[in-house]
Structure 1
Amino acid sequence: MVELLKVHGSENKFFILDQTKLENQLNDQELSALGQTICDPKNDILDGADGVLVVNNAKDPNAIGQMRVINADGSEAKMCGNGLRTVSRYLSEKFDKENFEVETLEASLDVKKSTDLANNVPAFSVEISPISFKAADLPFSYKNMDEMIDEKVPEFLPKQTFTSIAVPNPHLISFVDKISEEDLGQLGKYLNSPNEYFPEGVNVSFAEIRGKNQLFVQTYERGVGFTNACGTGMSATTLAFALLHLDQFDQAKDIEVYNPGGMVKTHVTLGKTKEESQIHLIGNATFTDKIEVTENDLHNLDFSNIQIKPTKEEDSYQDFIYSLNK
């Protein structure tokens, strides 16, 4: 039998598959099909998910494992901050380590176990890197700009300004007085359909500044749509916040980032150049269910005979969320 995990970081939900435990690993085509099948809520597998996190042996000798991110639409993301926290917990428990590196498609990143957010709500801190503002790295094209930082783009929305950052996933960020889900949804769909500005699509985040080092962020995620939380989106948004709103930013303290799925913290250290800045994302790594399936059924995408065992960690996480909203 193969064990999958249903997990979440800030209610950004995933399945974890450890390929190193399979006799025959899934190829890229099978992984894409798995993502589309198991994540679709219509297939009634624990209400679906935003993606599949695939654990492989690392090629980098300094890392203890590799993470690949398969989105719900079968595409592959370069990174996922919320997902990396859950994979970090999985590898931490697998290898009995609390501070180590995890290999992603772009870089091997430092991760470490953090203080639990609450009773039975384990947390991890993960490095978000590399950072780029260059148009070619997102990529984007608009009026021959090399960078887009706090720019008016009336073709998107006439009354807002936008900042683009790759971490390495591409993000488009706008600070607003009040988030309009209608505007966010329309812009997100537009920029993730064939368009002249972001040919590979982009994650779109709107953010409200709610106080010193305090934000609320909502994201329309490339390959997913509206999501409860996007780890790299919140990370990129806090960097934009630190650069553009110095009067509201205290570098000595963590930034609290609220989202539809709960709350995370980031720690932003501004560098000599904005690309040399450092971002660490700190938040929950919750395992909600363990799923057993035969390897043959996994290859055949047959989930009719799976065995599911809840962990009860979600109850503790919801208690934590309730405490935030008191």
Structure 2
Amino acid sequence: MQLAFIKCHGSGNDFPLIDARGMALDDAQWAGIARALADRDGPVGGDGLLLLTEGSGAAAFGMRMFNSDGSEAETCLNGLRCTARLGFELLGIDHALVRLKTSVAEVAREAELAPGVTTVRTKVGPASIAAADVGLTTGDSFIDAPIPGLPDARAFTAVAMPNPHLVRFVDAVDEAELVALGNWCESGPALLPARANVSFVEQRGPADLYVRTFERGVGLTDSCGSAMAASVLAAGLTGRVAFGQEIRVFNKGGLVRGRADAERNVTISGNATFLYDASVEVNAAGAIAQPPLIHARREDEARAWEEAVSALA
């Protein structure tokens, strides 16, 4: 099948984005398309596949996100910004409610983070701290506390954004340790049968966080929007940053601005950058994609983001 898509990124988290409204494909087909298009060694590559879907009720449109392995995530906040931008442009609006897999989110255009950098604000929540909602099969909740059965005895904060996150604050990120724990969670152990995202977070100032994430279904990634949101919330829940205070959140892909409140709502503002418009032939059953035909490159947007990131270095 021939599919049109936009290659986009939020904080370096890159995706093919498809306007899937009115497309009658089943979950198995979308999973195969995700494996084909989000294969990092394939002709397109990405951290997952984003779908703009029909709205319902008060939601102007919806979003689905499939990971690189074909599994579907509850949300993806970096991807949500990009999907929201496409929805805004197609529907001629500047703010909306968005229907996600198991929840809804508020999205709105916002003043540019930097010149030429299209910026979108997302608000999700209230997030859950119930262990069962995070997918843990033990305990009631874990806030800056060890999780029995986890192969890491140090303190974690477990939150559902609604996708599951385990957040640990560290003096310095040890990527090998993060990958080892992420791989353990990825195996679907009895403690976490549905797996979880794992983040190590450095607090680099009163309101600056650096986040490194092993993303469920993806692996070690330069950026994960829901992990950044979970880290902002964890900073508030553990008293590291006051609720209501704006936080700058950095990762290898760039930065976002974030804020959490005492009701466990989290607001994230960041870029929604479109890189190019293309079409591609995909065999969904075989999860195989041909080289894409690129129709237009958004070089000004790519350059604006690169300049913004360079200014932070």
Counterpart contact for 1:205–1:218, Cα < 8 Å: yes
Correspondent of 1:146 among 130, 140, 144: 140
Could you tell me how far 1:299 is from its partner in structure 2?
Answer: 5.7
Matches of 2:176 and 2:141, distance apart in 1: 27
Q: 1:21-79, CA deviations, whole angstroms, 9 ceiling, x for partnerless residues?
A: 65xx322111000110111122222xx10111111112x22111110011100000011
For 1:40, the equivalent position in structure 2 comes to 39
Matches of 1:35 and 1:324, distance apart in 2: 32
Matches of 2:153 and 2:204, distance apart in 1: 20
Aligned partner of 2:103: which letter? Answer: A
Counterpart contact for 1:160–1:175, Cα < 8 Å: no
Q: Does 1:54 align with 2:42?
A: no
Correspondent of 2:293 among 306, 309, 314: 306
For 2:176, the equivalent position in structure 1 comes to 182
Could you tell me how far 1:278 is from its partner in structure 2?
Answer: 1.6
Query: Which segment drifts farther, 280-289 or 304-313?
Result: 304-313
Q: 1:82-121, CA deviations, whole angstroms, 9 ceiling, x for partnerless residues?
A: 1100011111111111111111011221110011111211
Q: 1:104-160, CA deviations, whole angstroms, 9 ceiling, x for partnerless residues?
A: 011221110011111211110111224111122111024xx1111111247545562
Residue aligned with 1:161, SS: coil
Aligned partner of 1:3: which letter? Answer: A
Aligned partner of 1:40: which letter? Answer: D
Aligned partner of 2:95: which letter? Answer: N
Could you tell me how far 1:195 is from its partner in structure 2?
Answer: 1.2
For 2:210, the equivalent position in structure 1 comes to 216
Aligned partner of 1:268: which letter? Answer: A
Aligned partner of 1:315: which letter? Answer: R
Which aligned pairs between 1:96-245 and structure 2 lie closer than 5 A? Answer: 96-142=92-138, 145-153=139-147, 156=150, 158=152, 160-245=154-239
Aligned partner of 1:33: which letter? Answer: G
Counterpart contact for 1:10–1:261, Cα < 8 Å: yes
Residue aligned with 1:74, SS: coil
Q: If the length of structure 1 is used for normalisation, what is the TM-score?
A: 0.89
For 1:256, the equivalent position in structure 2 comes to 248
Counterpart contact for 2:103–2:162, Cα < 8 Å: no
Correspondent of 2:77 among 81, 94, 97: 81
Matches of 1:319 and 1:249, distance apart in 2: 29
Counterpart contact for 1:89–1:285, Cα < 8 Å: yes
* Larger RCO (CA within 8 A; separation ≥ 6): 2
Residue aligned with 2:33, SS: helix
Q: Which runs of 5+ in 2 are unaligned?
A: none
Matches of 2:28 and 2:103, distance apart in 1: 23
Change (3 A) 1:319 1:175: same
Counterpart contact for 2:43–2:290, Cα < 8 Å: no
Matches of 1:41 and 1:158, distance apart in 2: 29
Residue aligned with 2:137, SS: coil
Q: Which runs of 5+ in 1 are unaligned?
A: 271-275
Residue aligned with 1:121, SS: coil
CA RMSD in angstroms, aligned pairs only: 1.9
Change (3 A) 1:226 1:178: same
Residue aligned with 1:184, SS: helix
Could you tell me how far 1:3 is from its partner in structure 2?
Answer: 2.5
Aligned partner of 1:15: which letter? Answer: P
Counterpart contact for 1:160–1:176, Cα < 8 Å: no
Matches of 2:180 and 2:295, distance apart in 1: 37
Identity, in percent, stands at 32
Residue aligned with 2:113, SS: strand
Could you tell me how far 1:251 is from its partner in structure 2?
Answer: 3.7
For 2:304, the equivalent position in structure 1 comes to 316
Q: How many residues align?
A: 309
Q: 1:287-318, CA deviations, whole angstroms, 9 ceiling, x for partnerless residues?
A: 01111246xx5767542463343211211101
Could you tell me how far 1:277 is from its partner in structure 2?
Answer: 2.2
